[in-house]
């Protein structure tokens, strides 16, 4: 008789068979603030941008914080590269922050969740959500003032009409588990 038990509840099922656009959230273990401060946030953001490019993921929006990050990206032809991309990012940043803190072997990253975005309205709402996530967390009043997110980049590179259109999409109904309370010391 096949095992009919539900998947383990602390590890989300990853469904990465289809090429497309994904919304991804990753969190530190125990929501610990391992990336508190400007230097650590800069390294995490730089790592995310570097490894996304290396694995062929085209980032459209991102926001990194002391204990989590979000991004929206188009996958390469093989969407299953998300797992090795994040594994590389997490192992490199964990090793680096553990060396800084003299904490070898400490668990830094917990897991990640991804959602394939298949509806245009959902895609636009999540773009707006990620760009404005620092405002959502009360870190800034204007999203483009937060240096470790894509809001300023987006406003500077996208046509003004596109920026205005994305900015009008409501995010209050976006179903994103985001109770991370990042540290305000950035």
Compute mean pLDDT per 10 residues along the chain, 186 residues long, and list them.
Answer: 45 60 95 95 98 97 96 95 96 97 95 90 93 92 95 94 89 72 74
Q: Is residue 13 part of a domain?
A: no
The per-residue pLDDT for 145 is 95
Residue 116 burial by Cβ neighbours in a 10 Å radius (0-12, 13-18, 19+):
middle
Q: Is residue 147 part of a domain?
A: yes
C-alpha distances (whole Å) from 117 to each of 20, 39, 109, 125 are: 7, 32, 24, 10
Q: Which domain holds residue 156?
A: 21-167
What CATH code is carried by the domain that includes residue 122? Answer: 3.30.70.1290
The per-residue pLDDT for 180 is 74
The per-residue pLDDT for 152 is 95
Q: What is the CB-side half-sphere exposure of residue 172 using CA atoms within 13 A?
A: 1
The per-residue pLDDT for 186 is 67
Q: Is residue 181 part of a domain?
A: no
The per-residue pLDDT for 16 is 53
> Residues of 132-164 as b/e, b for ≥16 C-beta within 10 angstroms?
bbbbebebbeebbebebbbbeebbeeeeeeebe
Q: Is residue 160 part of a domain?
A: yes
Q: Is residue 173 part of a domain?
A: no
Q: Is residue 186 part of a domain?
A: no
The per-residue pLDDT for 15 is 53
Q: Is residue 172 part of a domain?
A: no
Q: Count structural domains, the chain.
A: 1
Q: Is residue 129 part of a domain?
A: yes
């Amino acid at each position: 008789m096949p095992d009919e038990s539900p998947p383990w509840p602390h590890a989300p099922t990853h469904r990465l068979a289809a090429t497309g656009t994904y919304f991804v959230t990753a969190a530190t273990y125990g929501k610990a603030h391992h990336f508190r401060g400007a230097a650590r946030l800069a390294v995490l953001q730089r790592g995310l941008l570097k490894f996304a490019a290396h694995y062929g993921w085209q980032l459209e929006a991102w926001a990194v914080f002391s204990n989590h990050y979000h991004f929206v990206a188009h996958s390469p032809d093989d969407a299953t590269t998300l797992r090795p991309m994040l594994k590389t990012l997490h192992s490199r940043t964990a090793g680096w922050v553990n060396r800084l803190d003299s904490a070898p072997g400490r668990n830094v990253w917990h897991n990640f969740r991804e959602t394939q975005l298949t509806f245009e309205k959902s895609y636009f709402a999540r773009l707006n959500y990620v760009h404005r996530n620092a405002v959502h967390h009360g870190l800034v009043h204007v999203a483009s003032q937060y240096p470790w997110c894509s809001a300023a980049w987006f406003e500077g590179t996208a046509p003004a009409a596109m920026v205005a259109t994305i900015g009008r999409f409501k995010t209050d109904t976006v179903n994103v588990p985001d109770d991370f309370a990042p540290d305000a010391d950035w």
